[in-house]
Chains A and B, each alone.
Chain A
Amino acid sequence: MSEDVYVLGVDMIKFGRFPDRTVPNIGAEAALLALDDAGLTIKDMQAMYCGNLGQANAMVGQRILQEIGQTGIPVVNCANACATGATAFREAWMSIKAGIYDVVLAVGVEQMGKGLLGGAGGGDGIPKEGLLGSGTMPCVFAEAGMEHSKDHGTTFEQFAKISVKNHHHSTLNPKAMYQIETPLDVVMNAEMISYPNTKLMCSVNVDGSAAAVLVSEKKAKELGMARAVKVRASALASDPYTDRDLVMPDVNACTRIAAQQAYEMAGVGPEDVNLVELHDCFATAEMLHYENLGLCKDGDAGKMIDEGHVELGGKVPVNVSGGLLSKGHPLGATGIANIYEVCTHLRGEAGARQVEGAKMGMTHVIGLGTACGIHILEKV
């Protein structure tokens, strides 16, 4: 196999709402932070991979370079739903893996606004939302969670506990959108959006950006390995055929494919992973992925949250950043922001939320449609 790839610099901005800024301007901030973290400049970058969804046809990557330095390097703009950031990171990884470049920049950025996502369902004729069920994201992921309830008896309260956990974690993360404790009764009594997802069990639409500088092993050794994080695996899967997939997006099957490929590539198993940042776009989604990622046996996800295995201090802390539920979910940035989070723990720089002794971590995102991106990272 070709030489290993390392993350040399990585950072994110504090997520928030920046209606007066432009998408490239928000992206440029993270790009500069990541370059600084790597101790490099834009002049050192040989290529750029940019993830953004909202302006997918508007050359966001090039416009970021117009704000931070136009050197004539190739730029690839990626859109892959909520897996957009992970896809940009993976494209960057592949370019080094292929031996084309030694130093590349990956940026993810999104400006969101507020409100419900999905389900607009325009097209010809009349609107279909609320006529043929709901295509809103809270409902689609509620239906996926209810499938778990049907098979395993998972309760509203168990789903709600995930939101309590992630909001608690975010109180320790200064870069999260919110730092607010939400006790169980507050989560369960919040406005019901789509049963069993209350408002506090839905991810927060925010603006944000994150970026990473990836380098070849040769370059990492040259520049200094002290804070370099090794990319042990990068996997991307689409949804395989399953019986209901075209009516009910299947976030499980493609996660299982990507997870299996990632574990095989890294030569490790779920028991080797010390922390996980997974795609908690809704509390119901996080529950499914404990099993999809092999963190527990099928049917045991409810126990994972009940017994505290997935909280900070537990067996395998999940979403110690606060997750999409409280850190926020700027679609195109999320897949690199979660790589920032894992790298920060592996470097021992996570402060109050540090997962003690973390050596290996996993990131996971799902974009409906469907795309799943998984990375396994290790501090060597």
Chain B
Amino acid sequence: MSDKILPAVGYLKIPDDGDPYLEGYKCDNCGAVFLGERSVCSKCFTRDKMSTIKLKETGVLHSFSVVYRSFPGIDVPYVSAIVDMDGGGTVKGNLINIEPDPEKIDFGMKVKLTYQDALGRKDKEGNSYLSYFFEPA
């Protein structure tokens, strides 16, 4: 078992000294931003021109759904959100600290990232995980 908290996904980075952040891969040719490591741009096909960037902490809600039925053991309702990050990249995540009521959620609302324990979920070895969430900015 690790003595450190682990990232829930590979593109969530937890530096030894500093705050967690989401990592994007940006094409230096066309500017497309991807989550997860890659060497070829699927937008402009340029090879080996990818740079890692820190995604911005803020963004705009593009679309969402309120999920009332999920798999057994998963707490509902919750808001599944698609967020266009300021400065590039689109990220999907839970939108928290807001009433999960479609009438009370506005397209285009400003949101920001927050980093918290992954809802208490642990892996088989008992490791704890850090995840990211969105909340109203």
Contacts and interface: CB of A to CB of B under 8 A. Distances in A.
A136 B123 contact: no
B121 A146 contact: no
18 contacts: A116-B71, A119-B71, A125-B127, A130-B75, A131-B8, A131-B118, A132-B8, A134-B67, A139-B80, A143-B65, A191-B68, A192-B66, A193-B67, A194-B68, A194-B69, A195-B65, A244-B82, A246-B35
Contacts of B34: 246
A139 B118 contact: no
Nearest to B42: A241
Nearest to B71: A129
A244 B69 contact: no
The DSSP consensus for interface residues of chain B is: strand
Contacts of B32: 241, 243
Interface string A122-155: 0011111111111010110011101101100000
B66 A195 contact: yes
Interface residues of A, number: 38
B69 A191 contact: yes
Given A131-B118, A247-B91, A126 B69 contact: no
Contacts of B76: 130
B62 interface: yes
Given A126-B122, A248-B62, 4 more contacts: A133-B80, A136-B69, A195-B102, A248-B82
A125 B8 contact: yes
A94 interface: no
B129 A125 contact: yes
B106 to A, nearest CB: 10
A146 B107 CA distance: 9
B114 to A, nearest CB: 13
Contacts of B119: 130-131
A120 interface: yes
B48 to A, nearest CB: 18
Interface in B73-132: 74-76, 78, 80-82, 84, 90-94, 102, 107-108, 118-119, 121-123, 127, 129, 131-132
Contacts of A317: none
Contacts, number: 129
Contacts of A142: 65
Interface string A231-254: 000000000010110111000000
Contacts of A128: 8-9
Given A126-B8, A128-B9, A116 B69 contact: yes
Interface of B: 6, 8-9, 32, 34-35, 42-43, 62-71, 74-76, 78, 80-82, 84, 90-94, 102, 107-108, 118-119, 121-123, 127, 129, 131-132
Contacts of B35: 246-247
Give the 7 A-B residue pairs with the shortest CB-CB distance, closest first: A133-B80, A142-B65, A130-B74, A126-B121, A150-B107, A134-B80, A195-B66
Given A126-B121, A150-B63, A241-B43, A132 B93 contact: yes
A144 B82 CA distance: 10
Contacts of B80: 133-134, 139, 143, 194
Contacts of B84: 244
A15 B54 CA distance: 50
Contacts of A143: 63-65, 80, 82
Given A131-B121, A131-B131, A244-B82, A194 B92 contact: no
A133 B93 contact: yes
Given A132-B92, A132-B94, A247-B92, A194 B66 contact: yes
B70 A119 contact: yes
B115 to A, nearest CB: 13
A149 B102 CA distance: 12
B71 A146 contact: no
B69 A132 contact: no
Contact of A134 (B62, B63, B65, B107): B65
Nearest to B69: A193
Contacts of B67: 130, 134, 136, 139, 193-195
A241 B30 CA distance: 12
B90 to A, nearest CB: 4
